[in-house]
Amino acid sequence: MGNNLNISIFGLGYVGLPLAVKLSKYFNVIGFDKNKQRIKDLKKFVDKNKEVSVAALKKAKLKYSTNKKDLKDINIFIVTVPTPVTSSNKPDLKPLLEACKNIGQIISKESIVVFESTVYPGVTEDICGPCIEKYSKLKMGKDFYLGYSPERMNPGDKLHSVDKITKVISGDNKKTILILKKIYGKVNSNKIFVAKNIKTAEAAKVIENTQRDINVAFINEITKLFKKINLNIFDVLKTAETKWNFLNFKPGFVGGHCIGVDPYYLAYLAKRKKIGSDLILSGRKINNNFPFFLSNYINNYLSRKSKILVLGLTFKENVSDLRNTKVTDLIKSLKKKGHKVYVNDTYAYKDEVKRMNLNITKLSIKDKYDSIILAVPHDNYKKLDYSFFKRKLNSKGVIFDLKAIWMNKKFPKNINYIIL
Ligand SMILES: NC(=O)c1ccc[n+]([C@@H]2O[C@H](COP(=O)([O-])OP(=O)(O)OC[C@H]3O[C@@H](n4cnc5c(N)ncnc54)[C@H](O)[C@@H]3O)[C@@H](O)[C@H]2O)c1
């Protein structure tokens, strides 16, 4: 392979596109995606995920394709396709296997295939490798090589981008590891950690996200308890955080396609190996139920059918990503209880919201509400102040600040301000 590294990124989503742009500074890179619209947009320098700016896309020496025939000179495949779960919360490896099939049909000898998609330990070597073998008639470890390098990007977080954080890499032999070090090291000034082997790297990634899910679940559980005894969870956390080793987690929705999904991959493996996964699945259950706890709490507090404005719909702050957002559970449940619920989100795309059978209510319209629920702390909501609440809330209106972002604001006299 020598110095001639031709890279293809398979799947240009939240993970793949920023990586492709960064790598294209140093290597020949073709971004491949099966979604024709995505490629069309990118050719016009539009990233609808808002992870990469128009300027950066214009500057990038990146080619795009939806046709695997364009990849015949590629010798490094980096796979960043989704790894969702099925409706029964089992790993859905279809996108991954489809990518492996496509790669298998075009891969040439000496190539390396690196997986970045989050999986459970064993998927790369025991499922993806054999799938590539099947379609290529080549032998892994002999004719082509495997690597796994987990992705740690955090959408909306410009501080911890791929070029700034430690990149874990792993490979099936020393040469693969050397090449991966060379590739990823270019992008992040050699902040590389070489995992002992591929399964260790896969395991590390899936436990990073599962650990977060369990920690948030613990905080969500004690939030319910402390509500019962009229203790403010944010006051309790502020106090506990003065201990040097208290972990800083906040209560809230756990949605999206990582933290709310990856623990099921681990639980699936545990079940197959006949090991219990009670803690992992309890965390999932607690976090999935949290929107319904909030809905009951809000409903009891309001004590009459109300007109409610929910601020924020995306799965987390400052992103447009609506996948698996738990705010919809809160909205549906409040509607079921007879409330009229409206939603605003400054990041979500109107057409995607429509597909969820919801409409975005503009903040500029003159309507007044009985209650405002801050569900997702987008930056622009943090700036809302006295005049907004006065304009938007009826007398005796109630604000439910689920993220405690307005704790230090002044409110009109006849308004109730409730922190989670
Ligand atoms: N988004 C994150 O914050 C994040 C962070 C760390 C890890 N991950 C993991 O990275 C992986 C990708 O996540 P994402 O958020 O970038 O997903 P995404 O849905 O944003 O992007 C995936 C892209 O892959 C394309 N695709 C799907 N199947 C394909 C195929 N067979 N061939 C070519 N393209 C295909 C889709 O069209 C899409 O554009 C997942 O395993 C996820 O768990 C995501």
Q: CATH number, domain at 127?
A: 3.40.50.720
Cβ(77) – ligand 1 distance below 6 Å: no
**Residue-level pLDDT at 235:** 94
Last residue of a domain, one of 195, 214, 243: 195
pLDDT digits (tens, 9 = 90+) for 35-63: 999 999 999 999 999 889 999 999 999 99
Calculate how far, in angstroms, residue 261's C-alpha sits from the geometric centre of ligand 1: 13
Atom of ligand 1 lying closest to residue 154 CA:
3
Q: Is 14 in the pocket of ligand 1 (CB under 6 A)?
A: yes
Ligand 1 atom, smallest distance to 119 CA? 41
* 278 and 337 assigned to the same domain: yes
Kindly state whether residues 180 and 234 are assigned to the same domain: no
User: 418 C-alpha to center of ligand 1: Å?
Assistant: 38
Q: Whose CA is nearest to atom 26 of ligand 1?
A: 11
Dihedral sign for Cα 6, 77, 263, 94, please: positive
Secondary structure percentages of the chain, helix, strand, coil, to 5: 40, 15, 45
Domain range for 115: 6-195
User: 35-74: buried (b, 16+ CB within 10 Å) or exposed (e) per residue?
Assistant: eeebbebbeeeebebebbeeeebeebebebeeebeebeeb
- State the Cα torsion 331-337-340-345 to the nearest 10°: -10
pLDDT per residue over 159-203, tens digit each?
888 888 899 999 999 999 999 999 999 999 999 999 999 999 999
What does the pLDDT average to over 266-292? 98
* Ligand 1 centroid distance, CA of 359 (Å): 27
Domain identity same for 243 and 159: no
For residue 81, the ligand 1 atom closest to its alpha carbon is 24
Ligand 1 centroid from CA 382, angstroms: 30
Distance from the CA of 291 to the center of ligand 1, in angstroms? 26
Tell me the mean pLDDT in the region 353-379.
95
Q: Which of 142, 170, 195 is the last residue of a domain?
A: 195
pLDDT, tens only, 203-242: 999 999 999 999 999 999 999 999 999 999 999 999 999 9
Residues 297 and 410 in one domain: yes
- Distance separating alpha carbons of residues 420 and 401, to the nearest angstrom: 6
Q: Is 155 in the pocket of ligand 1 (CB under 6 A)?
A: yes
Give the atom of ligand 1 at the shortest distance from the alpha carbon of 98.
Answer: 31
Do 15 and 84 belong to one domain? yes
Q: How many domains does the chain have?
A: 2
Assess whether the C-beta atom of 98 lies below 6 angstroms from ligand 1: yes
- What is the CA(33)–ligand 1 centre distance, in A? 10
Which two structure tokens, joined as six digits, stand for 28? 């020949």
* Mean pLDDT, residues 236-254 taken together: 96
pLDDT of 281 = 98
d(CA 352, CA 16): 21
What are the DSSP E strand ranges found in 236-377? 307-311, 340-344, 369-374
* Whole-number pLDDT of residue 230: 93
Centre of ligand 1 from the C-alpha of residue 172, in Å: 23
Alpha carbon nearest to ligand 1 atom 43, residue: 118
What the block records as the tokens of 60 is 């990038």
CB atoms inside a 10 Å sphere around CB 365 = 9
**Cβ(329) – ligand 1 distance below 6 Å:** no
Beta bridge partners of 91: 85
Pair (92, 164) in one structural domain: yes
> Are 279 and 413 in the same domain?
yes
Domain shared by 260 and 405, yes or no: yes
For the Cβ of 39 lying below 6 angstroms from any atom of ligand 1, the answer is: no
Provide the pLDDT for residue 1. 60
pLDDT at 305 over 90: yes
57 belongs to a structural domain: yes
Percentage of the chain modeled with pLDDT above 70:
99
Q: Is residue 222 one of the residues assigned to a domain?
A: no
221 in a structural domain: no
Could you identify the residue written with the tokens 């979500």? 348
pLDDT score of 261: 97
Pocket flag, ligand 1, residue 96 (CB < 6 Å): no
Same domain? 103 vs 248: no
**From 17, 64, 257, 261, mutation site for ligand 1 pocket: most ligand atoms within 8 A of C-beta:** 257
Is 112 inside a domain boundary?
A: yes
Q: Are residues 300 and 381 in the same domain?
A: yes
Are both 89 and 169 inside the same structural domain?
A: yes
* Rounded Cα distance, 109 and 135, in Å: 13
Q: What is the pLDDT of residues 96-155, one digit of tens each?
A: 999 999 999 999 999 999 999 999 999 999 999 999 999 999 999 999 999 999 998 887
Cβ neighbour number for residue 253 with a 10 Å cutoff? 27
Active site residue 258: yes
> Is residue 209 a part of any domain in this protein?
no
Q: Is 150 exposed, middle or buried (0-12, 13-18, 19+ CB in 10 A)?
A: buried
Name the amino acid, one letter, at 12.
L
Domain assignment of residue 225, yes or no: no
Helix (H, G, I), strand (E, B) or coil at 295: helix
Is 80 near ligand 1, meaning CB less than 6 Å away? Answer: yes
Task: Using the mean position of ligand 1's atoms as its centre, give its distance from the Cα of residue 349 in Å.
Answer: 19
The residue out of 195, 218, 253 marking a domain boundary is 195
Residue 200 lies in a domain: no
In a domain, 38, yes or no: yes
The mean pLDDT of the chain is 95
The reply to whether ligand 1 has any atom less than 6 angstroms from the CB of 38 is yes
| Predicted confidence (pLDDT) at residue 158 exceeds the cutoff of 80 | no
What pLDDT is recorded for position 344?
Answer: 98
Query: CB of 84 closer than 6 A to ligand 1?
Result: no
d(CA 353, CA 366): 22
Same domain, 234 and 370: yes
Closest Cα partner for 65 from 31, 41, 21, 110? 31
Residue to mutate (ligand 1; options 17, 33, 79; most atoms within 8 A of CB): 33
Q: Say what the pLDDT of residue 161 is.
A: 81
**Is 311 a pocket residue for ligand 1 (Cβ < 6 Å)?**
no
Calpha distance 10→2 (Å, rounded)? 22
> 3-state DSSP call for residue 278?
helix
